[in-house]
Amino acid sequence: MSKINAEKVSVIDEVKARVEESPTAVATEYRGMTVAEISTLRKTLRVAGAEYKVLKNTLVKRAISGTQSESLSEFLQGPTAVAFVKGDISAVAKILIDFAKATPTLILKGGVMDGRTLSSKDLKALADLPSRDVLLAQFAGALAAPMRNMASLLKAVPQSFAYGLSALIDSKGGPVAAASPVVAEPVAETPAGVEDAVEAASDDVVAEVTDVAGDVEAQASVDTETSASADEAPAAEPAE
């Protein structure tokens, strides 16, 4: 095998490996860019998780043939450099667009992401999106808010239950001491933990109120027996 053919095979194998690692890539035209500008862009993209390579179109087409990145072939015309993306495509698209504004000789042709063809307009739309970290933070905040509200609501259920039962016993006329409100155990973050905590707290409340009701009933029985004994006792004889 000649040296030239060996180099071609090496490039094809390299491109295939990159496509297998990440099926997301962006094709650009670098005509008119200086070596220093290409080097600067390459370093900036590497920080965002992308490798920027100047490649021959024919070799790239052979490498991506039969893969889900094959649609990238339609952008492989003229001097082409490809950014193979492992990181956040939105961050990479933003870097390329911002660099193109400062260096008009850089032209974004299009790209491919998980088998879907991306036009230059698609790349601009992706660049306008918040970064992946920001989106994850926003999503986490949106999930956390209702969970916090639910936890607070469920923590209040055992207390309300205790007060309600205590008031019901009082309404029956028994001299019942006010039941001590039960403080719910800290509620877990997950739905399963919240449900277990509420169930445990409710069982404690029922047990406590049942004990109070038993004490009331026992006291009432003692009072009744004492009253009956007093009625049956013989009256004291008058002194002579």
Contacts of 121-125 with C-beta under 8 Å, sequence gap 24+, read 123/26, 123/93, 123/96, 123/97, 124/93, 124/97
Q: Render pLDDT for 190-239 as a digit per residue (tens, 0 to 9).
A: 455 545 554 555 555 445 545 545 554 555 555 555 555 554 544 444 44
Distance, in Å, from the CA atom of 54 to the CA atom of 189, rounded to the nearest integer, reads 50
Question: What is the tens place of the pLDDT at every residue in 163-194?
Answer: 666 666 666 665 544 445 555 555 445 455 54
Nearest to 44 by CA among 81, 98, 104, 124: 98
Q: Going by DSSP bridges, is the β-strand pair 116-118/107-113 parallel, antiparallel, or unpaired?
A: antiparallel
CA atoms of 13 and 60, how far apart (whole Å): 10
Asked whether the predicted pLDDT for residue 110 surpasses 90, the reply is yes
pLDDT of 123 reads 92
Beta bridge partners of 112: 25, 117
Q: What is the pTM of this model?
A: 0.54
Q: Is residue 155 scored above 90 in pLDDT? A: no
pLDDT mean over 118-138: 78
Q: Can you tell me the mean pLDDT for 88-110?
A: 94
Q: Residue 22: its pLDDT value, please?
A: 84
Token match 């990181």: residue?
87
Q: Domain ranges in the chain?
A: 3-129, 137-228
Residue pair 17/25 in contact (Cβ under 8 Å)? The answer is no
Answer yes or no: is pLDDT of 28 > 80: yes
Share of the chain above pLDDT 90, in %: 39
Residue 82 has pLDDT above 90, yes or no: yes
Q: What is the mean pLDDT of the chain?
A: 75
| 162 pLDDT above the threshold of 90 | no
Q: What is the mean pLDDT of residues 21-25?
A: 89
* CATH number for domain 3-129, candidates 3.40.50.1100, 3.30.70.1730, 3.40.50.2020, 3.40.50.9100: 3.30.70.1730
pLDDT digits (tens, 9 = 90+) for 30-41: 999 999 999 999
Please determine, for residue 84, whether its predicted confidence score (pLDDT) is greater than 60.
yes
Q: What is the pLDDT of residue 149?
A: 67
